[in-house]
Chain A
Amino acid sequence: DAGVIQSPRHEVTEMGQEVTLRCKPISGHDYLFWYRQTMMRGLELLIYFNNNVPIDDSGMPEDRFSAKMPNASFSTLKIQPSEPRDSAVYFCASSPPPGIGAYNEQFFGPGTRLTVL
């Protein structure tokens, strides 16, 4: 398996622009998580899905952030409009159903480094 795939790996944009980050979870995994990592705040959970349905979006910082999971193999995290304080590394992770693999293990993608100028 290729693991969790994220694109783009790096994104540089200007303040006010729309940014879309993409994630393909591991096939067969039914949980998908979006995290943000910064030096100041560490790893923060933004939102997670189970079977394509958002379960907890309490970590989404504000209405400028939105996430979708239209099918089991694809999710997007969108920031509109972007601001310099959104600069961070954004990780997608997926997890298999109960009974498959290690209990509750999350598999992380390589991340997208976002820079908003």
Chain B
Amino acid sequence: QQQVKQSPQSLIVQKGGISIINCAYENTAFDYFPWYQQFPGKGPALLIAIRPDVSEKKEGRFTISFNKSAKQFSLHIMDSQPGDSATYFCAASRSYGQNFVFGPGTRLSVLP
């Protein structure tokens, strides 16, 4: 019930293309769904996050789509750039201050 599944494990996209990463969760008590971006040798950093009261959130080229009934959420990166090449983690938590459950990560490579 605590698990967050993430796919694909790795993704290769051409510059300018759309990158899509999907996550699914089981625990309906989760109420916060962030995406973290991690570059090699660095700690993860918050990219964008959503709460279940909205179905979509957009920040620049990054969009989260959230489907509460299906217990799924996804990250879309529009106009992908080589600088977006990183590992992306989805996560979920139950309430403020509670620990995150992280997905296994997706390694994105954007080819120039």
Binding site for B on A (CB under 8 A): 4, 31, 33, 42-43, 45, 48, 50, 56, 91, 93, 95, 98, 102-111
Contact = CB atoms under 8 A, between A and B. Distances in A.
B43 A104 contact: no
Nearest to A44: B102
B46 A56 contact: no
Interface of B: 32, 34, 36, 41-46, 49, 51, 89, 93, 96-100, 102-105
Contact of B43 (A31, A103, A105, A110): A110
A86 B26 CA distance: 30
Contacts of A110: 41-43
A56 B97 CA distance: 11
B49 A43 contact: no
The secondary structure that dominates the B interface is: loop
A104 B44 contact: no
A104 B46 CA distance: 10
Contacts of B102: 42-43
A43 B34 contact: no
10 contacts: A31-B97, A45-B99, A45-B100, A91-B43, A102-B46, A103-B32, A104-B49, A104-B97, A104-B98, A108-B43
Contacts of B44: 43, 91, 108
